[in-house]
Chain A
Amino acid sequence: MASSTTRLFETRVLSLIAVAIVINIVGNQINDLVRLPIFLDSIGTVLVGVLAGPLAGGVTGLLTNLILGLIVSPVAAAFAPVAIVIGVVAGLMARAGWFRTWWQAAVTGVVIAAALTLVAVPIRIYMFGGVTGSGADFIVGYLSSVGQTLFSSVALTVFGTNVADKVITALIVWALVRQLPERLTSGYGHLQHSRA
């Protein structure tokens, strides 16, 4: 393991992952003020995916949820695979050049939401019975009461509640990487895929 972390990530990337985890955790402090119906808990994960690649993005997501599980709620740890998918997909999309323009970033947000839905739905159904105690449970309840199956109710809810969040997150990251000074980004080779 020692050699693997040394080989996989430079110290600069390790430091980036560490601060990105904190950005994820304090992201909802920002949302307390703007009161948008979004989570804002993966700006750091997507940012690392764009700057340092899918593996670093996935590690950022994993550790964010493990740390949240440790200090806030173990429920967060159960959704760690979802956070991994967000980071990996953001990194892969960036590598494929889908962070060059604002509309590509928006499409990337939709793709991230679709990918995380595939992972989040089984966790939400088999571990939590489809509900987690969040506001989105009202949508699951409504869809179930109008005849949707539990699976489709949860899938539609997860995708619907995440798509706006991930599009906004991807657009914020796109705006960020465009205006960051060269001295802060010069060491992140993966960023070349997202330069217009």
Chain B
Amino acid sequence: MRSWSIHRPGTSALHRANPLTKLAALLLLAALLFVLPWPGAWAGSLLLLAAAFGLRIGGVVLRRYLVLATPFLIAVFIFHGLIVDRPDRMPLAAFLSYSQEGLTYAAVLGGRISLMLAGSLLFVATTHPAALLRSLDVAGMPPGLSFLLASPLLLIDEFTKRAGAIRDAQQARGMRVDTLSDRLRALRLLAVPLVTLALADAQERSGVLNGRAFRAFPRRAVLSPPPDTALERRLRHVLVAVSVLLVGCALWLG
């Protein structure tokens, strides 16, 4: 069965940092994309991946990075370097030709995506979704929105198992997937029970939530808030301010 989360528990400074601080750092990373030249973006990606190894989460981060980044990077370099027609096209070999301008553009796009991907994976690998939600609750997120973000994260594994069980049951009953019409029929046989069960689940959950009056107060009380310090709060303000400044400068200077 597929594992969705790449979070790995740990005690490093990044693991211990408040999730909102890490989100602010991600915002700064996104703002840097506006001003960093492409070699800087690639160097930043490598630095973040190296940092993941320093935090002992390098294996899981690098694997997910390669799975997600490789197809995109191959596609963007082939497409812009070899396929898109540009004025500086030069012969490469046989019928192939390449464009230096296209390859540079691919390096720019690849560097941006690579940097954001590396940063996001580092964030996800060091931040448990529950800790992020608790920190958002502390920041004043309403219970309805908190439920919408938290509940799916907690239900994914259960529904993945459920989908697998339905698939196994229908296969045991002789469901075939040989021809196109078989597959379309199979799609209905698999999707209908899953969604029907999900709707029954939703009804039961809403009854339980109403019974607990979970929206009686505009904010949820958090019993174990993620650690936060005055220094981190100030750091978040600085990170957000610098991000806004960077984007503003980039737009102002064109």
**B141 shortest CB reach to chain A, Å:** 7
CA distance A36 to B80 in the complex (A): 29
**B79 shortest CB reach to chain A, Å:** 5
Contact between B83 and A141 (Cβ–Cβ < 8 Å)? yes
1/0 contact trace for A40-81 toward B, CB 8 Å?
100110010000000000010001101101111111000000
When C-beta atoms are compared, the residue in chain A nearest to B180 turns out to be A36
Chain A hits for B141, CB < 8 A = 1
CA distance A71 to B127 in the complex (A): 10
CB within 8 A of B160: which of A1, A20, A26, A176? Answer: A26
1/0 contact trace for B71-103 toward A, CB 8 Å?
111111011100111000000000000000000
Contact between B4 and A128 (Cβ–Cβ < 8 Å)? no
Q: Taking A23-B159, A29-B164 as contacts, is the C-beta distance between A70 and B129 under 8 angstroms?
A: yes
- Point out which of A59, A129, A130, A134 has the most chain B C-beta atoms below 10 A from its C-beta: A129
Contact between B198 and A133 (Cβ–Cβ < 8 Å)? no
When C-beta atoms are compared, the residue in chain B nearest to A131 turns out to be B75
Chain B at the A interface: mostly helix, strand, loop or mixed? helix
Contact between A168 and B187 (Cβ–Cβ < 8 Å)? yes
Contact between A132 and B144 (Cβ–Cβ < 8 Å)? no
**Chain A-chain B contacts (Cβ-Cβ < 8 Å), number:** 206
Contact between A133 and B72 (Cβ–Cβ < 8 Å)? yes
CA distance A72 to B5 in the complex (A): 7
CA distance A23 to B163 in the complex (A): 9
A contact set with B: CB distance below 8 Å: 1-6, 9-12, 14-23, 25-27, 29-30, 33-36, 40, 43-44, 47, 59, 63-64, 66-67, 69-75, 128-134, 137, 140-141, 144-145, 150, 168, 172, 175-176, 179-180, 183-185, 187
Supplied contacts A33-B171, A179-B192, 13 more A-B pairs, CB within 8 Å = A5-B142, A11-B215, A12-B206, A19-B205, A25-B156, A66-B149, A73-B120, A129-B109, A132-B75, A141-B79, A141-B83, A180-B199, A184-B199
Interchain residue pairs with CB less than 8 A apart (17): A2-B218, A5-B145, A6-B142, A14-B206, A16-B199, A18-B152, A18-B205, A26-B160, A29-B2, A33-B171, A47-B195, A70-B132, A71-B6, A131-B76, A141-B83, A144-B84, A176-B192
